[in-house]
Chain A
Amino acid sequence: MSKATHSPLRSIAAHAILLTYTVIALFPVFVIIINSFKSKKAIFGAPLSLPLGDAFSLIGYETVFKRGDFLLYFQNSLMVTVASLVLVLLFGAMAAFALSEYRFRLNTLTGLYLALGIMIPIRLGTVAILQLMVASGLVNTLWALILVYTAQGLPLSIFILSEFMRTVSDDLKNAGRIDGMSEYRIFFRLVLPLVRPAMATVAVFTMIPIWNDLWFPLILAPSEATKTVTLGAQMFIGQFQTDWNGVLSALALAILPVLILYLIFSRQLIRGITSGAVK
C-alpha cells in the first residue's frame, strides 16, 4: 500500500467531506423527527430546538392515530411496496437471465426495448393507464398500484441484473446442466445467489420511489380502503390550514418501515460479495 493513502491529512479531509454530506442528508430527517414530538407553538417558535420540557408534546401522534385509519394506510403501503418489489425482482431477474443466457433472434433489440423504460417516465402514460384500469375494473384496488409499480421498476432491474448475470461463469451453469439441473434450478439455485448484491441494489432503488409515491395512489387508488401512507398524510395538509403536528408525525412514522427494509437489503448487499465459485 502506498504511503499517500495513509496520510492523516487525506484521511481527515475525506472524513470531513463524508461527514458534511451525512449531516446535509440527514438534517431534514432530523428536523422532521424532532418537530414531530413538539407542540405546534414550539414548531413555529423554535423549529431547530430539541423537544424538551414545555415544547415536548405527543399531540401529533395522537391526531395521527385518532384521525383516519393510519394502521390500514401503513398496511396498504407495505403490501404495495413488498408485492411490487417481489414481482420486479422475480420477473426482472428472469428476463435478465433469458437475455444474458440464451442466444435468440432479436436478443439485443429485446434488451434495448426493455431498457427503454429507464429513460421514459411512466407518468407520461398516466391517462392511458387510468383508462386501462377503469376498463379492467382495477381502480381503487391495490392491484392497480402493484401492476403500475412493477412496470415502473422492471426496466432498471432488467438492465442492472442482465449486466451482472453476464459475469456469472458459463462453466458453472454448464456444470449444473451436466448434473441434470433444470434451467429453473440453475436460475434459482446457482445464478440468483451469485447476483444477490445486484438484487439488493435493485431492491433499494425500486423500493424507495414506490414507498414515497403520491401520484399513482392519488389517481388510481384514492379510496379510504386503499390509501397509502403518503396519501394519508396529505389529509393534514389543507388549502387554508395545515396540521403540521399531524403531517410531521405521519412522515416520521413513514420513515420507519422503509428504513427497516433498507437495513435488511444492505446487509445482503455486503454479505453477497463472498463466493468461491471460480478462481
Chain B
Amino acid sequence: MGSLQLNHVNKSFGATQVLFDINLDVADGEFVIFVGPSGCGKSTLLRIIAGLEDSSGGEVRIDGSRVDAVPPAKRGIAMVFQTYALYPHLTVKENMSAGLKQAGTPRDQIEAQVAEASRMLSLDPYLQRRPAELSGGQRQRVAIGRAVVRKPSLFLFDEPLSNLDAALRVHTRLEIARLHRELTATMVYVTHDQVEAMTLADKIVVMNAGRIEQVGSPMALYNNPANLFVAGFIGSPQMNFLRAAAIGMAGAETIGVRPEHLTLSKERGDWAGKVVHIEHLGADTNVYLETEKAGMVTVRLFGEVYHDPGETLWMSPAEQRFVYRFDAAGKVMR
C-alpha cells in the first residue's frame, strides 16, 4: 500500500496554467523527489496529491483508488511543511497527537504511537514544550514526528530542510533516509537542493515550467539526461554547453561536457582557454577558463591543482562517452 499514480493532471489558476499533463507512477515504498527551478509547480503538484488543492483535470490515485474527491485527512497521507506549521498553542505531544485525536483513535493507541515516533526522532525531552520553546531543527523534527505518528502510507515533504543551517540539513537528511528505511513507506519529497535529491531519491522527477522533463534514478539522470534542461539541472557545477559550430563539430547544435569529465593539459588538447579564476574547495578544484569561441568553460579537477590566472591551457573530454550532443530542440542525440 502507498502507491501513487498521476494521470493527465492539469492545473490552472484562473487563466494561467501551471501544470501541464502530468503523468507519474510511484511504486509502493519508493522515495521520489521532485526537483526543478523555483515556480515550476512542484508545491502545487504536491498540494494536489495531498488534496489541499483541486486539480483542473486528470486523476490522482493512491493505492489504486481515485482520491480526487477524498478530503486530505482521509487519503492516508501525512505532510511536512517548509515552515514546520506546528500548532503554536499546543505542546509537542499535543501537536503530534492532534491528527489521531481528530480521527477518534483510542487514547492508549495514541499514547503508544506518539511514544514510538518520539523515540524514533529522539523527541522525548521536548514532549511537554511548546513550539516557541524549540530551536528550528527541533521544530522540524517535531513536524516530521507529527507525520510519522499517523502511520501514513504516503509521506509528502515540501522542502522540509530549506530553513535549516547546513550542518542540521545533513543531519536531518540522514534522519529522513533512516526513517524511509525503517518505515518502508512511500515518500514524495520536493526540494531545490540537488544534493538532497541525489542522495535520498530512488527516483527523481525533474520538472520545468509545469512539465515533467524526465523521470529516472539519480544516476540515470546524471549519465543519460534526455535534454539540455535535465543535463544542466543535474550535476554541480553545471554541465558546460558549447555551441557545436564554434568548436567545429558537425551534426549537432550543442555539445555538453560535465566539468568533472574534462582534463587539462599545458601542451595539447581539443580546445584552448585562458584561466580566469580558480576555486580551491579542498577535495577538488574548479578552474574557470575563457575560450576564444565557445565562451566560459568550467573544469573540475580532483585534489589540489594550481594554475595562474591568465595562463593558457588545453582541455579535452576524458572519454568520448562523456560528450553529450543535443539537437536544435535541445533533445539529446544518440
Query: Which single member of B71, B89, B130, B132 contacts A193 (CB below 8 Å)?
Result: B89
Q: In whole angstroms, how far apart are the Cα atoms of A275 and B132 in the complex? A: 6
B143 to nearest A CB, angstroms? Answer: 8
Chain B residues, CB < 8 A from A172: 83, 85, 87
**Inter-chain contact B88/A179, CB cutoff 8 Å:** no
B38 to nearest A CB, angstroms? Answer: 17
**Inter-chain contact A178/B72, CB cutoff 8 Å:** yes
Query: Which single member of A180, A194, A277 contacts B85 (CB below 8 Å)?
Result: A277
Chain B residues, CB < 8 A from A274: 132
Indicate whether B78 reaches chain A with its CB closer than 8 angstroms. Answer: yes
Q: In whole angstroms, how far apart are the Cα atoms of A171 and B146 in the complex? A: 14
Indicate whether B29 reaches chain A with its CB closer than 8 angstroms. Answer: no
* Count of residues in B whose CB is under 8 Å from the partner chain: 33
Chain A residues, CB < 8 A from B71: 177, 180
Indicate whether A169 reaches chain B with its CB closer than 8 angstroms. Answer: yes
Query: Which single member of A176, A178, A194 contacts B77 (CB below 8 Å)?
Result: A178
Q: In whole angstroms, how far apart are the Cα atoms of A177 and B78 in the complex? A: 10
B226 to nearest A CB, angstroms? Answer: 33
Chain B residues, CB < 8 A from A175: 79, 81, 85-87, 146
Q: In whole angstroms, how far apart are the Cα atoms of A85 and B194 in the complex? A: 54
Count of A-B contacts judged by CB separation below 8 Å: 81
Q: Which residue of A lies closest to B132 (CB)?
A: A276
Among A126-148, those with CB < 8 Å from B are none
Indicate whether B131 reaches chain A with its CB closer than 8 angstroms. Answer: yes
Chain B residues, CB < 8 A from A179: 73, 98-99, 102
B140 to nearest A CB, angstroms? Answer: 9
Q: In whole angstroms, how far apart are the Cα atoms of A181 and B98 in the complex? A: 9
Chain A residues, CB < 8 A from B98: 179, 181
Additional 19 contacts, C-beta under 8 A, given A169-B83, A178-B50, A275-B89: A169-B85, A171-B82, A171-B84, A174-B72, A175-B81, A175-B87, A177-B71, A177-B73, A178-B78, A178-B79, A178-B99, A180-B71, A180-B73, A180-B99, A193-B88, A276-B88, A276-B139, A278-B84, A279-B84
